[in-house]
Amino acid sequence: MKKYSLFLFFIAAVLPLYAQRVEPAFWWVGMKEPRLQLLIHQNNIGTTEPQVTYAGVKLTKVTRVKSPNYLFLDLTIAATAKAGSFPITFKKDGKTVASYSYELKNREPNSANRQGFTSADAMYLVTPDRFANANPANDNVEGMVDKVDRAGKDKRHGGDIQGIIEQLDYIQKLGFSALWICPLQENNQNMGSYHGYAMTDLYKVDARFGSNEEYRKLSKEAQKRGIKLVIDLVPNHCGSEHWWMKDLPTDDWVNFQGNPKITHHARESIQDPHASEYDKELHASGWFVPSMPDLNQRNPLMANYLIQNTIWWIEYADLHGIRVDTYPYSDKDFMSRWSQRIMREYPRFSMVGEEWSVNPSIVAFWQKGNKNTNGYVSEMSSMFDFPLQNALTEALNEDDRIYNRGLVKIYQTLSQDFLYASPNDLVIMPDNHDMSRFYTQIHENFDLWKMGISFLLTTRGTPQIYYGTEVLMTNPKSDSHDEIRGEMPGGWADHTVSAFTEKGLTPQQLEAKQFMTKMLQWRKTNAVVQTGKLKHFTARDGLYVYFRYNDAQKVMVVMNKNKEPLKLDLGKYSELLKGASTAKNVLTGETNSLANGLTVNASSALVLEIK
């Protein structure tokens, strides 16, 4: 009996342990960066001696930390290394006590040259829990505490990856060529986990959305339809229930570890030449909220972990873009290194950062190529244009008869494009998942909605549209996130109205959807509104005129907020209309001679192809 017990103990010790966590769980040969750092987590693994034997792979460093349950292994993968599996063995007193079979995979053909999103794309934004529930079987998952409760505030509704897959044709037919989905990674938090921004496992899709394999399938199915998948990543923080919070590897794994302090959100302290060290530290290192510990990106082990996690998702899920949450809350020097590393591996990739400021100089600070007076060099190619979003809403709502109000706000904001290194690389939007819906912001004025959408789809930048905007979704009761992120009509079996099939839509909703589809499909085939130059004329008396132009094409856009039609004095625009004879209305297809002048209907936008 004694010998039998010892035999069982030995077998249990040397077999691969399913509770053992190795991150990243696998990697690829042929990456530009040959170094790979593995995080190993298992009881007392730090007391063992790891060994690796595989052609082209060398174990160069072993890092032990305060917690004995971690090891960090630095591997160097030679350019000659072949795809395959090899054992990582862990020995103690000369005996193997644990092992892990590690796999190196081949990269997909041309993986490094994947094309990111550009201003030629239009991006559709989806909150997955609220878009479409195609698999009710995963609404509630054993071991995950936040259950579906469609009537409760800030509760899960059951939307999932399969629901998005089944509506890819819908997204394609609307005219979108990029898809940004709010985070899908595991958020096993006690409450409010549906939004995805408090991750508890950075390598795993939340089981209530589906699986890693389903996410990869979504990416492949999207590509078949010409849609680029954009992941939403959160390098700044994790969820308070993240697995490592129960066993932190070091004393500085998260900021203010053991004595959490909440950030005061003084984002301007980063650029402020007069800022106190106290304000700069509290902003960048403070926790976003009590349930979101702030990750210490100055810790080199954490920095490597976050960089590799990003690359792993790009390579595994075959992604084409990243949206970076709460960009200015992260350590700014780390974010430069993070961006450089991603772009070194994928030179044509795209990333866009969130800096929710209506001050263009603050947003411009973070864009690659900007000459910052404090010497900071950013590597982030794109930022969200919150200043233009704010200007658009104010421009549509305000009385143009009052000095410095109304459409002049758009003109004034775009005139500050000199602050940006590359204004055409900005992502522009009428709203997003964190603010009141566009139709609500403009007090459900359909004429203004059409005017605003016309502007967004013809001005410079990459347009982003939030799901349901095409059918005039609103949040009339409150500006709470829960209401803003309402269920997409038709996404649940008990819905009587569907944006997808158009069942039950009002005539105005149908018109809105047709209007947006027409504009998006037209934009998709017109290089001049994707990459052309922008020239505009001072907005006055409720009238704003601008052109997109290149050597081959010209598009003229006229926004008229007046309650009566206006006949334009075309002589004012002769520098761009010289030699032109006709103007074709993009929406109606009607062509008119410019010799007869142009009349713009009341409360409308006119989009014209100039010939």
Query: Where in the chain are the domains?
Result: 2-107, 117-240+296-529, 533-610
Give the per-residue pLDDT at 20: 82
The residue ranges of the chain whose pLDDT is under 50 are 1-19
3-state percent helix, strand, coil for the chain, nearest multiple of 5? 30, 25, 45
Helix (H, G, I), strand (E, B) or coil at 339: helix
The set of catalytic residues is: 325, 354
pLDDT value of position 11: 37
pLDDT value at residue 144: 95
CATH number of 2-107: 2.60.40.10
Tokens of 393: 């809403």
Residue 392 CA to residue 561 CA, distance in Å, equals: 13
Structure tokens at 556: 């003229």
579 CB-near residues (< 8 Å, 6+ apart)? none
Helices (H) and strands (E) in the chain, counts: 16, 26
Superfamily (CATH H level) for 117-240+296-529? Glycosidases (3.20.20.80)
What is the Rg, in whole angstroms, of the alpha carbon atoms belonging to the chain?
27
pLDDT of residue 10: 39
Dihedral over alpha carbons 449, 454, 457, 463 (to 10 degrees): -20
Same fold, 2-107 and 117-240+296-529: no
| pLDDT of 12 | 40
* CA distances from residue 366 to 191, 280, 330, 417, 442 in whole angstroms, order as listed: 33, 16, 12, 14, 30
- Amino acid letter at 608? L
**pTM metric for this prediction:** 0.96
Beta bridge partners of 86: 102
Under DSSP, is residue 390 helix (H, G, I), strand (E, B) or coil?
A: helix
Amino acid found at 98: A
**Distance from C-alpha of 424 to C-alpha of 119, rounded to nearest angstrom:** 7
Which are the contacts of 274, defined by CB distance < 8 A and separation ≥ 6? none
Predicted confidence at residue 340, as pLDDT, reads 98
Backbone angles phi, psi at 68, to 5 degrees: -70, -5
8 Å CB contact between 116 and 321 = yes
| CA 27 to chain centroid | 24
The helix (run of H) or strand (run of E) holding residue 123 is strand 123-126
Closest CA to 408 of 395, 398, 390, 418: 395
Nearest C-alpha neighbor of 20 from the set 94, 75, 86, 98:
98
Tell me how far apart the alpha carbons of residues 297 and 238 are, in angstroms, rounded to a whole number: 12
What is the model's pLDDT at position 236? 98
Q: Report the pLDDT value the prediction gives residue 8, as an integer from 0 to 100.
A: 37
Q: Tell me which fold the domain 533-610 belongs to.
A: Immunoglobulin-like (2.60.40)
Give the C-alpha separation, 285 to 271, whole Å: 16
